[in-house]
Amino acid sequence: MKRRQFLRNSICAALGGAGLYSALGNLRMVQAAANAYGPTRFDDYKALVCVFLFGGNDSLNMIVPRDDGHYQQYRSARATLAVEHSRLLPLSPQAGGGASDGADYGLQACTTDEDPIGMGGLQGLFNNGQAAVLGNVGTLIRPTSKADYLNHAVELPPQLFSHNDQQQYWQVSRTGEGRNFGWAGHIADLLRDANPDAFIPMSVSLNFESILQRARNAGQYVIGGGGPRPFSRFEWDDDSRRAFLAMMAPGAQPHVFGRSYAASFRRARENAAAVETALEASTPLQTAFPNSDLGEQLQMVARLIKVREVLGLKRQVYFVSMGGFDHHDRLLSEQPALLARLSQAMTAFHAATGELGVADKVTAFTASDFGRTLSSNGDGSDHGWGGHHFIVGGAVRGGRFFGTMPTLVNGGDDDAGWGQIIPTTPVDLYASTLAKWFGVGDSELDLIFPNLPNFSPRRDLGFMG
């Protein structure tokens, strides 16, 4: 039986049990996949790469106004956290691509004597039209004003300002039914036939399972930055290995759960062997990557993209991450090094996609728990809400600002209180714009992002070409 036929049969059988969606929604998803997203639907390759910044990046110190009026406003609001004007790298938007507030913006340079590059890479990508900035993005259920927030007039995402809850909500973008599955997982379920003869799933995560890619039916492949990981102690102990493999042999398990686990284990070993063989047979990349954890992860993503045809892949979603952004203190001393690593790794990755001839087929985008407070707590900032993000790739309408930049005034119209900036762009619109470019039809977006109609008629922010 063909892999695609097995998957189709599996999801149809799953309709008899507890569904990911309502019964109607689940049937619509299956029908959409069968009718519009069959194995011949895509004749090109596309990949999305989520770069998640765990801890809540203070993007107000990453992208900073430079013109006198807006900079003085920023400096007054940030107080002890303000980046010196001389430490800003100018962003030069293309004609008509300036920020909504009319301000000139720059990136915190993040350079030192030991690191003269800093954020110069992302500055160059933006100024050369290969990267865009999306301003003030955050988790929302419906448009929310300051009055709405203070008067409890609209439904809000659960447990605002909580790391774990906002990390999850950012990646699932829904409450109620289906909240345990990520929006990229929903995409993988919908487009499950896009890779009909693939050796590994559409969703690939580096180092650990991601919520973003968790799906009802589609699998998720986890790989280390250095390649497929060994399967515990039995991989190097002969006696343990023989005993365990005997337990995992087909038909050796008396219980259905044991058989299911054994089948998953055998499939994981087969996937690892296929990936390892493909990587070993591939010639090395010429692009140099920085010696950092994120650099290693993105280098592995580039290597996997290089062997995409060997692995039978036309659509892929990757999840990579870096941590350390929870700067309640030491913001000015610690954040610059993290931003420099982010910039250098994303710049190298974009260069690698150019080397591979797929720069316009691969889009990388940043995400984080939340933004941070505009106000200072003395040496750092606290848990906020809206924040700015980068989208990088050859298909991006780069050199432009998208979304609405907030007013940087403590207690102003965009401040929910304590300097927590209310988002003006929901994650739903950010993600739906990426999903449309990836190949999801407009009529299926509401299945993946059930809150999207609340922001009607906007369904596409326009940052993808």
Q: What pLDDT digit, counting tens, does each position of 355-391 carry?
A: 999 999 999 999 999 999 999 999 999 999 999 999 9
Please give the average per-residue pLDDT across 193-211, as a whole number.
94
Q: What pLDDT digit, counting tens, does each position of 57-97 carry?
A: 999 999 999 999 999 999 999 999 999 999 999 999 999 99
Residue type, 2: K
Q: What pLDDT digit, counting tens, does each position of 166-177 carry?
A: 999 999 999 888
**Domain residue ranges of the chain, discontinuous segments joined by +:** 3-10+20-455
Q: What is the pLDDT of residue 378?
A: 97
Predicted confidence band of residue 6 (pLDDT cuts 50, 70, 90): very low
Residue 229 pLDDT greater than 80, yes or no: no
Quickly count: other Cβ atoms within 10 Å of residue 2's Cβ: 10
In whole angstroms, give the CA distance from residue 313 to residue 385: 36
Q: What is the pLDDT of residue 235?
A: 58
Please give the average per-residue pLDDT across 122-136, as a whole number.
98
Residue 451 pLDDT greater than 80, yes or no: yes
Q: What is the pTM of this model?
A: 0.91
Residue 38 or 195, more confident: 195
Question: Token pair 């690939």 is at which residue?
Answer: 204
Please state, in angstroms and as integers, the Cα–Cα distance from residue 127 to each residue in 194, 269, 290, 345, 464, following that order. Answer: 34, 44, 22, 18, 17
Predicted confidence band of residue 250 (pLDDT cuts 50, 70, 90): confident
Predicted confidence band of residue 415 (pLDDT cuts 50, 70, 90): very high
Residue 27 pLDDT greater than 80, yes or no: no
Q: What percent of the chain has pLDDT over 70?
A: 90
- The answer for 332, left when phi > 0, alpha when psi is -120 to 50, beta otherwise, is alpha
Retrieve residue 392's tokens: 């990088």
Residue 97 or 249, more confident: 97
Tell me phi and psi for residue 101, to 5 degrees. -90, 5
One-letter-per-residue 3-state SS of the chain? CCHHHHHHHHHHHHCCCCCCCCHHHHHHHHHHHHHHCCCCCCCCCEEEEEEEECCCCCHHHCEEECCHHHHHHHHHHHHHHCCCHHHEEECCCCCCCCCCCCCCEEEECCCCCCCCCCCHHHHHHHHCCCEEEEEEEECCCCCCCHHHHHCCCCCCCCCCCCHHHHHHHHHHCCCCCCCCCCHHHHHHHHCCCCCCCCCCCCEEEECCCCCCCCCCCCCEEEEECCECCCCCHHHCCHHHHHHHHHHHCCCCCCCHHHHHHHHHHHHHHHHHHHHHHHHHHCCCCCCCCCCCHHHHHHHHHHHHHHCCCCCCCCEEEEEEEECCCCCCCCHHHHHHHHHHHHHHHHHHHHHHHHHCCCCCCEEEEEEECCCECCCCCCCCCCECCCEEEEEECCCECCCCEEECCCCCCCCCCCECCCCCECCCEEHHHHHHHHHHHHCCCHHHHHHHCCCHHHHCCCCCCCCEC
Mode of pairing for the β-strands spanning 203-206 and 220-223: parallel
Rg (CA), the chain: 23
